[in-house]
């Protein structure tokens, strides 16, 4: 394929250009119809400069925008910050020292866009032959089916930039068929269609009787007992301001649990992201394994060895499903007794997927090595 006009990508949903040494400013693409379907854009870890275009805030379907570790300058568009504060957009912009957050700080003259670091496009003219791999995952072309991956390969010739801006036309594009399954979790965003229900905050207040019955407190925030309009009892987790977990974990849990289903995994019934971040789960009447073993009523509910073996097997089945039954594999990264919940039949189910991650197929992705979750025993391997 000799070339591809961006206007031909009528169903573009995700753009991944992370770490490709891109330089210059983000061009004005506000007139392109393809942006109407854009859900996620990752331009992090490049050398992009100039101001962040305000039209990005007008993309109503955009759920994730990653601009960290670039050379952007000037004032961040207030509309982007407001969407981020309202949990409508996952917005990352750290690592841009010349950027000014106009909501929390007053912009100084030194942070004006005119004093931003200059583009390095002049240096790039002397680096002919440098190959910059631009990977665009999740581009859904009309008529394309799941199982196809578009790999965009852009070779710099003379200059990969034109007047300091990214080309609106990619000069060399190849579309290849992938034999490997494609990760559906490439971007931390709420998909347009989910197998779980979206609740309004008013419905959450009604279900919990204005948050009267508190079941406990977790890393995400308080957990309340609720009664849904279809008669089901639910455990409703509400994110607190002092929680160590934020939008990233919230979106990750929704994304994972809306796609995986197993009798040994706690079922996600729905969510709300209006006034607060809320997760609605099936109710597990016996609480966590930790409470049964170490809680105040541990002597009233001593677990028999048969029950303990049953719990161990249930948890193992859940982990086996995550590791072997999912494609790509899912690594929980925070298995502990407080994240194993029990129902009235003492069936065990794994919960709390906030810091889980899927094992991506791409060889360019770094293998996670950092210890996550609650400090405790870590396998020496």
pLDDT confidence band for 61 (50 / 70 / 90): confident
Q: Which residues contact 210 (CB under 8 A, 6 or more apart)?
A: none
Mean pLDDT of 151-159: 37
Burial zone of 143 (CB within 10 Å; 0-12 exposed, 13-18 middle, 19+ buried)? exposed
Mean pLDDT of 196-213: 92
CATH of 4-177, one of 3.40.50.10320, 3.20.190.10, 3.80.10.10, 3.40.50.10860: 3.80.10.10
Lowest mean pLDDT among 289-293, 323-327, 359-363: 359-363
pLDDT at 207: 95
CA distances from 120 to 7, 117, 124, 127, 159 (A): 28, 9, 7, 11, 11
Give the integer Cα–Cα distance in Å for 173 and 154.
Answer: 7
Q: Is 365 a catalytic residue?
A: no
- Between 205 and 116, the higher pLDDT residue: 205
Lowest mean pLDDT among 33-37, 302-306, 310-314, 348-352: 33-37
Lowest mean pLDDT among 189-198, 328-337, 371-380: 371-380
Query: 316 pLDDT exceeds 70?
Result: yes
pLDDT at 235: 93
Q: What is the CATH number of domain 197-358?
A: 1.10.510.10
Number of other CB atoms surrounding residue 348 within 10 Å: 26
Q: Which sequence spans correspond to the domains of the chain?
A: 4-177, 197-358
Per-residue pLDDT tens over the stretch 3-29: 445 555 556 777 778 777 788 888 777
Query: 260 pLDDT exceeds 80?
Result: no
Give the integer Cα–Cα distance in Å for 129 and 135.
Answer: 18
- Between 176 and 24, the higher pLDDT residue: 24
Q: Would you say 183 and 328 are in contact if contact means Cβ atoms under 8 Å apart?
A: yes
Q: Which of 28, 42, 229, 334 is catalytic?
A: 334
């Amino acid at each position: 394929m000799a070339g591809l006009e961006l206007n031909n990508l009528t169903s573009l949903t995700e753009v991944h250009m992370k770490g490709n040494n891109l330089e210059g400013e983000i061009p004005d693409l506000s007139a392109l119809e393809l942006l109407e379907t854009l859900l996620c854009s990752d331009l992090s870890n490049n050398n992009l400069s100039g101001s962040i275009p305000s039209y990005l805030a007008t993309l109503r379907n955009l759920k994730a925008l990653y601009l960290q570790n670039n050379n952007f300058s000037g004032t961040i568009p207030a509309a982007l910050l407001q969407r981020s504060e309202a949990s409508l957009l996952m917005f990352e912009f750290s690592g841009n020292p010349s950027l000014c957050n106009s909501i929390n700080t007053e912009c100084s003259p030194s942070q004006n866009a005119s004093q931003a670091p200059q583009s390095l496009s002049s240096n790039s003219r002397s680096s002919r032959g440098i190959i910059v791999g631009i990977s665009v995952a999740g581009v859904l072309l009309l008529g394309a089916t799941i199982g196809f991956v578009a790999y965009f390969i852009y070779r710099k010739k003379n200059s990969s930039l034109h007047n300091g801006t990214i080309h609106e036309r990619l000069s060399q594009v190849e579309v290849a068929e992938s034999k490997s399954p494609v990760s559906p979790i490439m971007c931390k965003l709420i998909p347009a269609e989910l197998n779980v229900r979206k609740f309004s905050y008013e419905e959450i207040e009604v279900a919990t009787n204005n948050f009267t019955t508190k079941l406990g407190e977790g890393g995400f925030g308080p957990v309340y007992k609720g009664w849904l309009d279809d008669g089901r009892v639910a455990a409703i987790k509400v994110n607190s301001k002092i929680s160590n977990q934020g939008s990233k974990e919230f979106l990750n849990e929704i994304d994972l649990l809306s796609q995986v289903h197993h009798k040994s995994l706690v079922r996600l019934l729905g969510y709300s992201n209006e006034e607060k971040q809320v997760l609605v789960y099936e109710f597990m009447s016996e609480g966590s394994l930790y409470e049964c073993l170490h809680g105040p009523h541990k002597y009233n509910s001593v677990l028999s060895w048969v029950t303990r073996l049953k719990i161990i097997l249930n948890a193992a089945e859940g982990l086996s499903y995550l590791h072997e039954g999912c494609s790509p594999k899912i690594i929980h990264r925070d298995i502990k007794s407080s994240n194993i919940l029990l129902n009235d039949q003492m069936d065990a189910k794994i919960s709390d997927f906030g810091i889980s991650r899927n094992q991506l197929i791409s060889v360019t992705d770094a293998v996670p090595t950092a210890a996550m979750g609650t400090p405790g025993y870590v396998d020496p391997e």
